[in-house]
Structures are given as C-alpha cells and as structure tokens.
Amino acid sequence: MNFLKGLFFVAITCAAYSCNEVKSQKTKVVENLALEKAEKQLSLQLKVAEKADRIPRTVNSKGEIHWTHNNFDWTEGFFPGSCWYLYEYTKDDKWKNAAEKFQSLFENHKYLTTNHDLGFVFNCSFGNGYRLTGNKEYVNVLTTAGDSLLSRYNPVVGCIQSWDVVNGWQSKKNWMFPVIIDNMMNLELLFELTRLTGDKKYEEVAITHANTTLKNHFRPNNSSYHVLDYDPETGAVRSKQTAQGFADESSWARGQAWGLYGYTVCYRYTKDIRYLEQANKIAKFIMKYEGLPDDGIPYWDYNAPNVPNEPRDVSAAAITASALIELDGYTSESYLPFIDKVLNTLATAKYTAELGKNHNFILMHSVGSIPHNNEIDVPLNYADYYYLEALMRYKKYKLE
C-alpha cells in the first residue's frame, strides 16, 4: 500500500519536527489514544450487555439503551464485530469471549431467507472471527448464511432483492423488487465465500449484482440513488427513489459511503478496473462536495434543506474513512489528508463521548433514518464498528 505518500498532519507540524518525528507523534494520537479510549468505553458497555444478555444498538428517544431485536436485526453483527477488532488490538481473550458469546445469540439467523443483510450480520461477526482465529466452524456458518442470501438473487434482474414488499412500510411503496445501495455491503461475504470454498457461484452473483448496480444506480455526478425498483420478470427499472434520504434526487450521506466501501471491496477481490474507477469517482463526489463541512463530517443528506441546521451523520464519516484507507492503497492519488482530517475530527470531544457517557457507545451524532423519525442524532453500533475498523486499518497499513 502507499501510505508513505503522506504523513499524519504533516502540513501543520513539519516546520517543528522531522518527518519521522511527525509520523511517530501523530501515530500515537490515532493508534494509542483513540483505540485505547474506545477499548475503555466498550469495556463499560460490555458489562451492561453481558448483564442484559442483549446486543446494544443505539439510544432511544427516552435516553435509554436500545437493544437489537431478538427475531432479527440488521445491526446485530456490529457489536460482536467491534469485540473482534478489540481482540485484535489488545490480544485480550475477554474480547474474543465476548465476540463469541454475542454472535452466538443470532447464529440461527443464518437460515433466514427473508432479509438481504446477512452479509452485514455474519461477515462483520463470524467473518472477523474466522479471520482472527481460523475456526473452521465459522466457515460453515458463513456458508449457510451465504446460501440463504443467494436465495434472494434474481438472474433476470441481476441483483439480490433488498426488502420484501409484502409487509411493513415497504409494502406501501408499490415496489416489486427493490434494490438499495446498501446491498453493496453484503457482497463481501459472497466474494469471501468463493475464496474459502472454491465455489464460483457466490462470486458470480456478487459480480453481477455489482455490475447491475453500477449500470443503474449512479447519477452523472457519481452520487447514487438509494432505492431502485426493478420488474422481476423483465429486469426493467421501474423507479429510482429514496427511503432514508431527503428526496428521490438527493444524495443520502450514508448511501454514498456504502457505495464507496462496496466498490472498493469489489476491486479488492476482482481487480476489475471499473470498480476501482467507480470507487474513486464516489470518493471525489464525497470529498469535493461544495456543502461538505470543513471537518469532513457530512450532514445526513448532502442536499438536506436546512443546512447548516441539519444533523450530521458520524456513521457515514466512519464508513467513508474506513473505505478510503483501503482505497488509498489501490491508487496513485493520496486520500490520506482527508482520512487524517476525518479520523482526527472523530477523535475530538465533539464526536467521541466521555468515558462512561453516551451509554458507553464510542461516537455521538449519527443518524439512522430521518424520514422514519428513527435514530436521529444518536450513537449507533455500526458507527462504532466502522470507526474501530478505520483505526485498525490505519494502524495496520500505514507503513506498508
């Protein structure tokens, strides 16, 4: 990777220190202080979660901790995933045991065929577990989850269906086969399963889904729609809309981050230059957007109507930072200055909670879905997960 293209905060501090001293000093800030503080905070959250035997998701409107739903929750894999990252960081079996305990609570969800988020759920938890332990039983869990995910694939459309449309608010949208940009994040599980099992069927579906999304989901400025609805019998696009953004033609911040991360992953596994080009295009849309705040933390939608009096979405920033760290290693152009800015911003008291506050979530000020009046300006377990991932990626790859 090309992380020697830049040094942390070099523009500010080179006048006072040598380059090696700058790298050493600023590395300490990110890797030791931010990770150390995160580990202390989640240690407190772990105690509460173990007592309740539940997985923390967010904080509700009453200021109480909100746990993941027992029957299924698309965010249930992130807390054990965070535990795996802290195990990787500390080598403390406390975190390994915690990850195994909490991912066991939803292992039977590997059989579910009614939700597209099995990639999120299982790759972040059991996938990280296998990466760090080599436990072959985890591969069996991942394979079953991957097979369940494949059941939602329609070869005529060339995509995995996101939401079912027979119940809930989705049934009121007149959708037939909705596909959301978020679904790009579920492809990593499929790519990884082909690597682990040698069976090409997983990769083939992932590639077809990525290609169909690349063809239809993006605007000329390289921002993405949130929801595309397809005709399941013809594969034709029926509509381009939003569900969690401000408007159909607006750019929902977390959706842009999902696309950036997803196409970076696609390039990792395939080395298809089209995916690298798309990831770079999305990165430039995010970084160069005229209304992006100076600190790099976006509003919940780039076209939200009351900027600057709109909530920020820290989750979008954390996802973006993690994706850019990987993408930086594939390009000749350095994204490190923007990465540094975002990571340093997230590490400030404005976005990182005091120890023991914020129901022991690491980060503050994320947004779930404003159109649904749900999880607005709250901590979210996936913001914490991708922040930890970004810090660990920065720690691991900065000198390669």
Q: How confident is the model at residue 15 (pLDDT cuts 50, 70, 90)?
A: very low
CA 204 to chain centre: 23
Number of residues written out for the chain: 400
Peptide bond into 379 cis (omega under 30): no
The string of pLDDT tens digits covering residues 73-126 is 999 999 999 999 999 999 999 999 999 999 999 999 999 999 999 999 999 999
Catalytic residue among 93, 147, 164, 182: 182
Dist CA 205 CA 369 (whole Å): 29
Catalytic residue among 73, 92, 117, 340: 117
Query: 153-154 and 65-67: which strand pairing?
Result: unpaired
Query: 237-241 and 227-230: which strand pairing?
Result: antiparallel
Is the torsion defined by CA of 386, 387, 391, 392 positive or negative?
negative
The string of pLDDT tens digits covering residues 217-243 is 999 999 999 999 999 999 999 999 999
With tokens 């696309």, the residue in question is 259
Q: How confident is the model at residue 398 (pLDDT cuts 50, 70, 90)?
A: low
Helix (H, G, I), strand (E, B) or coil at 101: helix
Note the pLDDT of residue 18: 35
Of 317, 277, 323, 321, the residue nearest 298 (C-alpha): 317
Q: Are 165 and 176 in contact (CB under 8 A)?
A: yes
Query: Quick check: 378 pLDDT over 90?
Result: yes
CB atoms near residue 269 (< 10 Å): 19
> In one letter, which amino acid is 57?
R
Q: Are 388 and 82 in contact (CB under 8 A)?
A: yes
Note the pLDDT of residue 31: 60
Q: How confident is the model at residue 144 (pLDDT cuts 50, 70, 90)?
A: very high
Active-site residue, 328 included: no
DSSP 292: -
Helix, strand, coil percent values for the chain (each to nearest 5): 55, 10, 35
Q: How confident is the model at residue 19 (pLDDT cuts 50, 70, 90)?
A: very low
Active-site residue, 182 included: yes
Dist CA 184 CA 160 (whole Å): 10
> In one letter, which amino acid is 213?
T
Of 88, 64, 39, the residue nearest 352 (C-alpha): 39
